[in-house]
Amino acid sequence: MASSAAFFLLAVAALHVCCCRGQGRDGGAVAAIYSLGDSITDTGNLAKEAPPGAFETIKHLPYGVTFGRPTGRCSDGLLMIDFLAHDMGLPFLNPYLAKNTSFDHGVNFAVAGATAMDPADQSNRTFSLKLQLRWFKDFMKSTFDTDEEIRKRLQSSLVLVGEIGGNDYNYALFGNKSVSEVEKLIPAVVQTIIDATKEVLDMGASRVIVPGNFPIGCFPSYLTAMASPEQSAYDSAGCLKDLNLFAAKHNAQLQRAVAGLRSSYPDAAIAYADYFNSFLSLLKGAPALGFDENSTHTACCGAGGRYNYDERRMCGVEGTAACADPSAYVSWDGIHMTQAAYKEMSRLIYHGRYLQPQILSFQE
């Protein structure tokens, strides 16, 4: 096997050949990125925080196989946040819980498994948005001397609030609650995201992106756990209709709330990142993008079955195996995407029409 350094160079070479500097809508350079979220964005916080023996799979190959080594990312390689940072002319974001590392160009506060709302059961320790926001504030206060210095820094930065909230629903749905029951959580989840975004804006953030949820009915995890004998339960793309409708309801409420933020903060550039429709676009164009058209709903890493997903034998445990070519798959482990899919999602969103409005520009 090639060295980690060689794999790292290959991973970087696989990035978009794009800009050397990213800008906001007003033309000002983005000097730093600050990110809050869950496993879609976590670049190593959970792996660094988890005690020995917990969440061991993400600390070992095959996680990170395309990158050349495990990094704590829930994928075979890079994430959307990595491609975005590169395209903005910035280094990859280091996780907040990393020691002796540089945070000169931003910090990643996202933690895999994080929820938007604080868990009702306090013994169930998850890294909620509230906790991440506290980390964010503590970091800014310890790094800059005054509130004015913080505001100045944030005015030349980009802040991502999410994707977050997906796990609030995942825990409930996989806890045997019905879709109709879980729908009742949507207003509170959305309000929690909006309240956190307001706090970031009140600190002085001038560019904020709030992503929505994915069409979860297309994911191998849900396709396996909630398989239906009725063909009418599936849409033409092979996704579960009820789950996608549920995700769309969350997104509709979140989009309306984000629009309200724009009215309240007219001097800030606030965008909604449409993960839902960009993912469906990816699925529709998968063969032309180099993905195996017969594997768009199949996990690269798993233990077999129709969708290669088994919640009792998750990727990385004994009895599972990774596919030979992750770049041909959309899904990495049934829950998270491959580097190849994240790269395409980043292109569709940040360089395409799924960032609404488009508040970023990229210079060659």
Per mean pLDDT, which range of 13-27, 79-93, 117-131, 151-165 is the poorest? 13-27
Strands of the 106-108 sheet, one edge to the other: 106-108, 32-36, 157-161, 207-211, 269-273, 355-356
For the stretch 272-308, pLDDT in tens is 999 999 999 999 999 999 999 999 999 999 999 999 9
In a domain, 79, yes or no: no
65 belongs to a structural domain: no
207 φ, ψ to 5°?
-135, 115
Q: Are strands 32-36 and 21-24 parallel, antiparallel or unpaired?
A: unpaired
**Average of pLDDT values for 148-167?**
98
Domain assignment present for residue 112? The answer is no
The answer, yes or no, to whether residue 1 has pLDDT greater than 50, is: no
Whether residue 239 is contained in a domain is answered as yes
Condensed to tens digits (0 to 9), the pLDDT of residues 326-338 reads 999 999 999 999 9
- Model pLDDT, residue 121: 54
pLDDT (0 to 100) of residue 51: 74
Q: Per-residue pLDDT for 24 more than 60?
A: no
Q: Using one digit for the tens of pLDDT, what is the confidence trace for 100-129?
A: 999 999 999 999 999 999 987 544 557 899
What confidence score (pLDDT) does residue 99 get?
Answer: 87
Instruction: Give tens-digit pLDDT for 236-256.
Output: 999 999 999 999 999 999 999
The partner residues of 272 in beta bridges, in order of sequence, read 210, 356
**What is the average per-residue pLDDT within 134-152?**
98
Residues 27-50, mean pLDDT to the nearest whole number: 93
Question: What percent of the chain is modeled with pLDDT above 70?
Answer: 90
pLDDT tens digits for range 307-328: 999 999 999 999 999 999 999 9
Structural domain includes residue 28: no
Instruction: Report d(CA 75, CA 254) in Å as an integer.
Output: 27
Q: State yes or no: pLDDT of 224 exceeds 50.
A: yes
Q: Which helix (H) or strand (E) holds 348?
A: helix 339-350
Q: Residues 139-142: contacts with CB within 8 Å, 24+ apart? A: 139/96, 139/103, 139/107, 139/109, 140/203
Number of structural domains (the chain) is 1
Q: Is residue 131 part of a domain?
A: yes
* Three-state DSSP class for residue 185: coil
Confidence at residue 52, expressed as pLDDT on a 0 to 100 scale: 74
Mean pLDDT of 29-36: 96
Q: Among the listed ranges 44-53, 70-79, 115-124, 209-218, which one has the minimum average pLDDT value?
A: 115-124
The answer, yes or no, to whether residue 357 has pLDDT greater than 80, is yes
User: Does 105 map to a domain?
Assistant: no
Identify the domain containing residue 146 by its residue range: 123-355
Q: Tell me which residues are annotated as active site.
A: 39, 333, 336
Residue 9 has pLDDT above 90, yes or no: no
Q: Are 331 and 300 in contact (CB under 8 A)?
A: yes
Is the residue at 170 inside a domain?
yes
27 vs 295: which has the higher pLDDT? 295
